[in-house]
Structure 1
């Protein structure tokens, strides 16, 4: 469970950084949103894995 917590923390930081980049750089906003969707999908998978372990 501790490992899952670190994974979730890393994903959370990734989402935060993606959001900051998107906010500061309008040109790459759509790319960041697509990355965010991918991160959300990964987050759901990580949560599922954490629950099943």
Structure 2
């Protein structure tokens, strides 16, 4: 969760200034990776909880 928030904060910080496309691409890639990891963790937690309830 902290990783996702810090990544989002970095995106906002970079958005406040004008930067080259390369830096935006780097931020976008890190954000996508972060969201992918978060979604996998959420999915794993949800399926574990679902199995526990059955």
Between Structure 1 and Structure 2, whose CA radius of gyration is higher? Answer: 2
The structure carrying a bigger helix percent of its residues is 1
